[in-house]
Structure 1
């Protein structure tokens, strides 16, 4: 009788637990949320000179960017972003001056890009990039 009862009991189905799957998905979600950036990058439009274009002989103002965040213009030192430097940029715009920008040794490229952006925002249209200089 006991043998018959054991044969009539159906074997239980093993269920798969989805708790570990949910844990893995949650960890992946956290990883991708923390490792991605959602800030939009700003772009600068830089126009290059066309070949054969003649340039009018004009006074070229040379701005030399230094590693400390200062610039040298005609022997005078300015701190980038301060009011007197912004006034200098506005004066260059009013005079329609040609500006040559160069960087000293060990200057971060991000600082150069920020100075180019600041010049464009001030309205400087004649901006040339020249070789870096040793200070």
Structure 2
């Protein structure tokens, strides 16, 4: 006896609906994701024990901060110690050239907020070459 075999049907999975779902999920994640662009100042912190002098100091801008929080830009004392005054003085002294190096010299007893104000003013104006000046450490006895 010879049995007749049934022909098998080709089984295919329809991927069109799966691709549609994947694209909808991709679109959902792209729309709901928040992209943050973090801006940071490039800070060149010299080593206190083996620091090197800054090159080409004629083009360098200097911000000096005294122990009581008084600011001076290129040896000109500012009337106020707020962010707007520091930004205006930096803009005036730099003539809009934000590629010039900027050095912040703060007294050892200066409040941290004063240094942050100077760094914030430099960051908002677009200065990217920032230096923190220090003195050479005395060798240990």
Write 1 or 2 for the structure with the bigger share of helix: 1
